[in-house]
Amino acid sequence: MGKRLEKAPGKDPKKILGFGAPSGLGAGQIISLISQACSGPTYALPVIWESTWYINGPLSHNDTQSTFGSQIDILDSTNTEGIADITNTPGLNQGEFQTYMLICAIGVHARPEPLCWTARGNAVNFPTANAPNKPFSPDAFTAADFAANNPQNTFPLQPGTVPAVLEWGWWLNYAIWYLARGYNLRWTFGSLMNILDEELRNTLYMPPNAQEGSASSSLVDVNYFASRVNTQYANLTPAANLLFSIINAHRVGSVNGLINGGSVFEPNRDDEFVEATYGGMDLRSALRGNSEYRVLANAFLAKPGVKLGLIFEENDTQEGNIMRSYLDVTQCFGGTVPPIFSEAGWPNGFASNNNSFSEFAERTIDGFTVPQQTYTGRAIFKGGTATMSVLGKGYELSDTLAETIKGNADLQAQLRSEIGCMCGWA
């Protein structure tokens, strides 16, 4: 887990309700003051807390199961294996405030990678210290291309090479989509008060990454992205045993002179570039009714030193499992990294059984027919970043005002009946 960081505190006096007001406010004045605060527009309310998780790529299998299990608590942030970094607003410590807070609105923000694409490539072994060149990486190959003992096959394919894909960005968008559907936003205070318990999709907000309702596409260079992914995979626990290699040659065909009709290749750089979509998944318009901040029907007066209790709680195991499969570097199957799959078996190793390759007869360039084998397994690499935040809007209460409300049961009753304000210390 990354170290805990704190956002620079905003010293705006408007965050403190009652700032500049006389210390001896009467009940009527307090009711009026809080009523005005609760009725203001959302954009005018200051953010009084924000807790954010940073995801820098897929998580290990164990970290996914631990951090994204049946309950996800971004505010508490004590169970954050695999989260790259955490930021908290000063005054918020493991889900507890240091002062009284009047909470008028809440928000759940997810900001996944806005760039989405998939590139073909190969998974190759980590190079050794004395490796002279980058491993050969063709767009297609056969079992015969590994034949190092063939004198005509001067540059055989590196042993252990596996067809691969690099998925960038969209898997994070997809995971958040299933998070919104598979979890409830539950808000409890203490052990008896249940403030909110409904589908997370009604509150979760994905800020638009492009112009509202639109997206664009263009070519991007895979090289730098592949470098980021390989670095991320090398730092996982357990670390990856293969790297993603960009395709640098295309298969032309085969000639009978090579053992079993080994392949002939030509250099080609077409696969160094992919068509990418800018904008990501438009979860915001797909989930109608949610907005950047959700105004509470009844403002909530939160007590310091008591956990706020605002968590995500799984309500659909099927949806939750799909979410975890996309966050998990092994697709939730565990085992080696990267995972190697085929449609014949999940997961299915590169050459673990008869379902891992296809056999066929190929007509060679020089007019012969030879038997060939191609492998159906493919390694899956994932790249991209995301942040997930829980936020609140409202005001900090001055000590004088908080103590006045705290010590006056009649005033608390008035706040409930006239404003609908829920008092967390009651």
Positions in the chain whose pLDDT score sits under 70: 1-25, 37-38, 40, 128-132, 147-154, 190-192, 208-216, 257-261, 280-290, 343-356, 418-426
CB 122 within 8 A of CB 179: no
pLDDT for position 8: 43
What per-residue confidence (pLDDT) applies to 290? 64
DSSP 378: E
pLDDT at 128: 67
DSSP string, 122-158: EEEEPPPTT--SPPP-BS---GGGG-TT-TT-SSPPP
pLDDT at position 426: 39
Stated as kind and residue range, the H or E segment containing 33 is helix 27-39
DSSP structure string for 214-280: --EEEEEEHHHHHHHHHHHHHTSSSPPSEEEEE--EEEEEE-TTSTTS-EEEEE--GGGEEEEEES-
Q: CA-to-CA distance for 169 and 180, rounded, in angstroms?
A: 17
Q: What is the pLDDT of residue 329?
A: 94
- The number of residues in the chain equals 426
Distance CA 35, CA 391 (A): 22
Tokens of 175: 């995971």
Q: Concatenated DSSP letters for 404-422?
A: HHHT-HHHHHHIIIII--E
pLDDT at 316: 96
**Does the pTM exceed 0.75?**
yes
Predicted confidence at residue 42, as pLDDT, reads 75
Q: Which of helix, strand or coil describes residue 336? A: coil
